[in-house]
Structure 1
Amino acid sequence: MPEPLRNALRPLSLVLMLAGLVCLVLLFRPGPFAVAEALGATCEHSRHSGPEKCGWWDAADLLWTGFWVLTIGGAVLRLTTRPKDRGPRVLDLRKWRS
C-alpha cells in the first residue's frame, strides 16, 4: 500500500471508531426515544409504503448496528494500515502450551 494512502486512511480509521463510540453513547444518553424523535418521519419498512414515524426500536437498532459496524470497520482499517516499520500484529500462543 502506498505511504500517502496509508497516512490518509489512518485518521479515517480513528474517525470511524470514534463514530462507533458516539453511537454507543447515544444509545444510553439521550436514549433511543430522543434519537427516534430526532429522526422524525424517515423510517420505511417496505418498498412501496410511505415514510412513517420512527419508533424507539428502529433508533436502537440503528445505533446498535452503527456501533458494531463502525467500530469493527475502524479497527480493521487501523490494523491494516500500520506503518511498514512496525510490522504486522501477531498473536503468539506458544507460551500457553504445557
Structure 2
Amino acid sequence: MFDVIDFLQTVGQDAQWRHADTEALAVALTEAEIDPELRVAILAGDEQGLQALLGQDPFCCLINPAKPDEEQEECDGSCEEEEENDNDKDKENDKGRG
C-alpha cells in the first residue's frame, strides 16, 4: 500500500504529470510495480475504488476549537433560561420603539 501512496505523492508533486497522457501514467505505474487492481483504479480516476482497495473509508471531521481566552464549561441548562430572558427583553424594547 505504501508504494502506491508514495507513487501518488510523487506524481502529485510533479507539475509535468498534470497533463500527462494515460499511456505515460500507465508506464510509470508499471515501472513502480503498482498492483494491477490499483493501476486500473488510478487510470480510470476511480477515487472510491482506489479508497476501497486501500482499505480507506471516507470520513468527515469538524474541528472547532475554543478561543484561547475562553474556558469550556459544561452546560447546566441555565444558559437557555438567560437567552429566553434576553429575547423577551429585546421584544419589549422593540415594542417601545415601534
* Larger Cα-atom Rg: 2
TM-score (structure 1 length as normaliser): 0.24
Q: Which of structures 1 and 2 has the larger relative contact order (alpha carbons within 8 angstroms, sep 6+)?
A: 1
